Structure 1
């Protein structure tokens, strides 16, 4: 197989390895350099924090077990999860308890890799993570300009690229130009309703799997049933609760069939970019 292209994410990406197993980290470092990565290794969490603060990496490999009885890899993972600028963290550990897996997932790690695992398989996982789209794209359609401004300001700090549209008449041209990963529609708008726009999207094979969330002040069962009957994935009532909207948007993006399909494609590409 061909080595990574000099234009691939691997050719300039910085990998931080945090593990106190000197033999394993040496093997990983040599392998990662052969893949074109810039590598830094730390054997404790204090040094890792310094490295992250001084020169943030593009991706982190984190073990969970360290000699310090006061903290472990989960401590650092929790701290990283609170930062708005997210660095993908791949946990690789000898622990295999369900409780550890649940905690790692809850703290937002990109993946859980079970030791023993070969350096090649670890770097395949790194490649997939580096090829993930850095910004998910969200399109919001609502005839209220103030709400559009509010939603844009709310979602952008979470690493989302937001396209807003107040005129439903321009919906199709903006949809095709923006190519969103998720669509948010108001139910009632002049010209075309959100329900009609949802039907149009679902009738096109290119967009049939696009996650669609509806916004509406209406809470009656008939409206809720109607939006789900035309293919909505979720329904959020106005006035909007900020934390609820963010959680639902991020959840839908994570579960999006389009993004899962892209991740599968990236995994196959990674398997074909092994160095000789």
Structure 2
């Protein structure tokens, strides 16, 4: 399954993660922006302007459709008109969303302290007044997307079941992570070297080389002694064995998407912080 992000170039051991982004061509992708506006004409006009600023824009006027679209493919940013009753409904739904890594920007004609305070408490990362300055909005979207790109975790998924690997890849990609999926554990060392993940998510039961054996192979290399390894399995009796082998976490199948995202994010963030302290 293709990610929303372009494939990163291979980098040498001397190059760090941030430097690899310098090799990316800005024309390789258009950032995905969702617009939620009850007024179709306003949405069309704004969409046309944002498209000129190299954004891929999808418009919504129904909160349920927006919520479903986010699960399938999360945007890099969401812009919402919150003044109408429909806007208030969507606002509440977004407050309870599972995938929450993308910035939300509110659009409103109301300019008072309490309204802005409510927006801050709801996690909105921008508050633009009507009539809307589309150029300023585009600049804010670019700023927020650039910040999130730096924070995107790199996750290597290993599962011999191609459908499951693609499923995990889709969930984590929709949460803004850079994901590479492989179906043969024999390829893991090459993938570690070239992709430079910040976490390995692997199935426990695989032919040729199971997850426990693969984890031991990874830990043989001093470079990967502390990279987080998270196991997936329906066999909970092997949880302690996995931990003893070097796993950092164990998730039982069937996997809850919210639990998967939160576990991967927390483990990867801890690993990134440890690396910064060295």
TM-score (norm 2): 0.49
Q: Which has the larger radius of gyration?
A: 1
TM-score (norm 1): 0.49
